[in-house]
Structure 1
């Protein structure tokens, strides 16, 4: 029953195009290319997505968002039971805050066992 609920929730979120605070529509910048936006310490809006979202890197515990050419990157955020967050960036990569960023070779990543496991752990299942 929990698995069915998980699958339905992911399907609904995928179909709804649900995103946390992003109004980017279909803009899907390539996370592997650093943005031209300046880092936060030099007066820019925040970190460049290409600098944060690298497979194998650790997503910072305090990560909120990133920017591509001055615009917030496309991401979905799920609040976890332990106050961390599971974040899907650009439908290409995901990580819980404070953990390793995963970039599966298959798509859509929400259908993959590696993502389902991360989601279940986030939800406390």
Structure 2
């Protein structure tokens, strides 16, 4: 009874994974369409199943594992580059946020310290704490 249940669960897992993979490949193949036509999804399911079956027949599980590793290797390099670009994007965003925060603080620095500018001096700034003298 447990063996039959395990086989059913494994079959459901593989079918669900194949369907998800076919959906993603279909979305990519149709230019990002979130609902690719059924024939496209069916094509990718059949292609994937045929490829997996051929590898199993030709070299067994070892050939299937080797093929999966070789196919995934270029994607791992791409994933590492994506991680690096994400780090760079976060650093740029943090610097931009800090610049915006400083600009807002400088714009309202008089409010922060309770200062009021009454008359501008030559450079356009009046310092009320100096006693009205131009500096």
Do the two structures share a fold, i.e. TM-score over 0.5? Answer: no
Greater relative CO, 1 or 2 (CA 8 Å, sep 6+): 1
TM-score, normalised with respect to structure 1: 0.23
TM-score, normalised with respect to structure 2: 0.22
More helix by share: 2
More strand by share: 1
